[in-house]
Amino acid sequence: MKYWITLVAFLMIGATPALGEFESGNVLLSECQSESVQEQVFCYGYIAGVSDMLVSGPGRQVIQAADEGWYCPPPTATLGQLVAVVVRLIEAVPEVRHHSANSLVSAALIETFPCP
């Protein structure tokens, strides 16, 4: 029962723009591919923030409760590598680009760097 409550809460948070879901995959992709240094810095910072949240923040408990697996980036992974992984996913699946950037970044990182 606790699993379902946590999962429903996570999905409700993900569907509520007022809680900070201001970026879509379309916007993040545009920023990551921009020639503007300011937009690229935002892209890198956004992805670094999501990665940090998955490794040590409340996201870790939500992932565990939802039985989604764990995110374990190798210690030698660079931020540039994480950005490339996220951009590759968003480009490869254009039908989900309208979803929240947070959910797309999380999915890309968890899928690419699962724990052994």
Give 17-30 pLDDT, tens digit per residue. Answer: 444 557 899 999 99
pLDDT class of 60 with cuts at 50, 70, 90 = low
For residue 68, how many C-alpha atoms fall within 13 Å in the half-sphere facing its CB? Answer: 25
Regarding pTM above 0.85, the answer is no
Structure tokens at 37: 């240094």
27: CB partners within 8 A, 6+ apart: 101
Digit-coded pLDDT (tens) for 63-99 = 554 455 678 898 899 999 999 999 999 999 999 999 9
Cα Rg, the chain, nearest whole Å: 14
Identity of the residue numbered 16 = T
**Residue 93, pLDDT score:** 92
Q: Which domains does the chain have, with CATH numbers?
A: 2-15+24-112 (1.10.890.40)
